[in-house]
Amino acid sequence: MQAKSLYGMAVEQFNKAAELMDLEPDLAEVLRRPKRALIVEFPVMMDDGHIEVFTGYRVQHNVARGPAKGGIRYHPDTNLDEVKALAFWMTWKTAVMNLPYGGGKGGIRVDPKKLSKRELERLSRRYFSEIQIIIGPHNDIPAPDVNTNPDVMAWFMDTYSMNVGHTALGIVTGKPVDLGGSKGREEATGRGVKVCAGLAMEALGIDSKKATVAVQGFGNVGRFGALLIAQELGSKVVAVSDSKGGIYNPEGFDVEDLIKHKKEAGTVVTYPKGERIANEELLELDVDVLVPSALENAIHEGNADKIRAKAIVEGANGPTTPEADELLFKKGVLVVPDILANAGGVTVSYFEWVQDLQAFFWKLEQIRSALEEMMTDAFNDVMKTKEKYGVDMRTAAYVLAIDRVAYATRKRGIYP
């Protein structure tokens, strides 16, 4: 089956909100389109001496409120359409959080699991050099995303710094803590997910201490999301999965122990204290909260009807298709949308960038409490908008975000 355009799907979400708020059609067209899309084809010398050519992207969707901001992913399926959608979502995500940023995203079409560490370093450095023509601490600030991490961010930072002749910490966020990174950045997306899961349960009258939660994906987001939901909300995390499959235990997992197992074994599926289930089964479990934190299109018209969770907290970007959204809304499932639910990462990225520019670093407690406060405020703002218009949370989040970006665009005017 030919996959639907992800950017098309993202625009559908936007259009729904734009219509609802009576946004001028001309302005809607400006806000829908990406400002810049760069495609780079570049050679990398592999360990055995042969050369491979890779394709990379960096898209800046909108910069009306500040520099473009967003991660860089390494994935064999990455393509321009996907990166355009992801950049688009970053614009609305930074606006929902009221951060002084626009939206951007990048990616390389590669399976990083097939590369050696040296190959990964050469790939990362060459890619960053190639996109450097549009990157800068005041232009566009990348960060981690699927399959990239603080080590990759350190190579990016060093590559840019070597090219410009001085160390530029504020060029990228998600760096190692002792190299211009921020305390609390690694757990930040998971912490934001936890805040949203807690508030969603509260809104539905669910006691978090008695709640059950299933988490799809055990990368940076799923791992910390599951851990903090168990530790700080006291909920039972009864199912988790990664790209190899899922595991289920109705008694709830010791998530810390599970993380240890994943580190050693490379997967959660071999964890002995649970029964193996398929990724699709995990999504359909009878739980209170479902946290899809893997890739796009996990919940679609084929399985939305079978979802039994009362709330969905989107740790991933774009895990729910518009068709599934409609079905879930009719069923009364509360969907906390990606542009709010996973915004904890970019929020602490913002803190990191501010710390880098000021060369003054904050304490972990300050970061955690500032993040939790901003996530709570954004959640409540979205809830108010939802009630005002009588719509789902995604549409409400878009209304809030579009209003802010539209204001900036009108106020700045069209140049020349």
Q: Which residues are catalytic?
A: 105
**Residue at shortest CB range from ligand GLU:** 71
Which pair of structure tokens corresponds to residue 336?
């906390």
In this structure, how many other beta carbons lie within 10 angstroms of the beta carbon of residue 277?
Answer: 18
Q: CB under 6 A: which stretch of 152-160, 285-293, 340-348, 392-400 binds ligand GLU? A: 340-348
Question: Using CA atoms in the order 219, 36, 151, 92, what is the torsion angle rounded to 10 degrees?
Answer: -40
For residue 103, what are the contacts with CB-CB under 8 A and spacing of at least 6?
60, 61, 62, 68, 69, 70, 87, 88, 89, 90, 91, 92, 93, 94
| 3-state SS, residue 63 | coil
| Residue 173 beta carbon to ligand GLU: minimum distance, rounded to whole angstroms | 5
- Cβ atoms of 125 and 106 within 8 Å: the answer is no
Q: Between residue 202 and residue 241, which ones bind ligand GLU under the rule CB under 6 A?
A: none
CA angle 313, 316, 320 (to 5 degrees): 70
Binding to ligand GLU by CB under 6 A, coded x per residue (else -) over 159-188, reads: --------------x---------------
Max CA pair span of the chain: 64
Q: Compute the distance between CA of residue 298 and CA of residue 9 in angstroms, rounded to an integer.
A: 13
Q: Rounded to the nearest whole angstrom, what is the least distance from the CB of residue 72 to ligand GLU in the complex?
A: 8
Q: How far is the CB of 14 from ligand GLU (least distance, A)?
A: 17
- In the complex with ligand GLU, which residue's Cβ is closer, 155 or 253? 155
Tokens of 150: 């603080």
In the complex with ligand GLU, the residue whose CB is nearer, 327 or 340, is: 340
CA-nearest of 57, 28, 55, 35 to 139 is 35
Nearest to 269 by CA among 296, 303, 295, 243: 243
Q: Which of 34, 56, 67, 71 binds ligand GLU (CB under 6 A)?
A: 71
- Measure Cα distances from 410 to 10, 61, 218 in Å: 23, 17, 42
Q: Whose Cβ is closer to ligand GLU: residue 88's or residue 271's?
A: 88
Based on CB atoms, which residue is closest to ligand GLU, 173 or 235? 173
What is the C-alpha to C-alpha distance for residues 175 and 173, in angstroms, rounded to an integer? 5
Q: Does 342 bind ligand GLU (CB under 6 A)?
A: yes
- Closest approach of Cβ 118 to ligand GLU, in Å? 25
Which window, 44-52, 59-67, 68-76, 328-336, contacts ligand GLU (CB under 6 A)?
Answer: 68-76
Site string for ligand GLU, 346-365 (x = CB under 6 A): x--x----------------
| Torsion sign (Cα): 58, 92, 323, 238 | positive
Binding mask 83-102 for ligand GLU (x = CB under 6 A): ----------x---------
Angle between helices 6-20 and 80-96 (to 10 degrees): 30
How far is residue 416's CA from residue 413's CA, in Å, rounded to a whole number? Answer: 8
Tell me how far, at minimum, the Cβ of 49 lies from ligand GLU, in Å. Answer: 34
Question: Between the CA atoms of 305, 299, 303 and 378, what dihedral angle is there, to the nearest 10 degrees?
Answer: -20
Contact set for ligand GLU, span 301-330 (CB under 6 A)? 317
Candidates 64-72, 111-119, 373-381, 382-390; binding stretch for ligand GLU (CB under 6 A): 64-72
Site string for ligand GLU, 251-290 (x = CB under 6 A): ----------------------------------------
Among 56, 70, 112, 198, the residue binding ligand GLU under the rule CB under 6 A is 70
Out of 345, 351, 382, 397, the residue judged to bind ligand GLU by CB under 6 A: 345
**By the rule CB under 6 A, 69 interacts with ligand GLU:** yes
- 8 Å CB contact between 342 and 221: yes
Window of 9-17, 63-71, 108-116, 259-267 that interacts with ligand GLU by CB under 6 A: 63-71
Number of residues in contact with ligand GLU, rule: CB under 6 A? 12
Nearest approach in angstroms of CB 144 to ligand GLU is 6
Of 135 and 346, nearer to ligand GLU (C-beta) is 346
107 near ligand GLU (CB under 6 A):
no
Which residues on adjacent β-strands are paired with residue 239? 214, 248
**Which of 6, 143, 199, 333: binder of ligand GLU (CB under 6 A)?**
143
Helix axes 6-20, 322-331, angle to 10 degrees: 50
Contacts to ligand GLU by CB under 6 A: 69-71, 93, 143, 145, 173, 317, 342, 345-346, 349
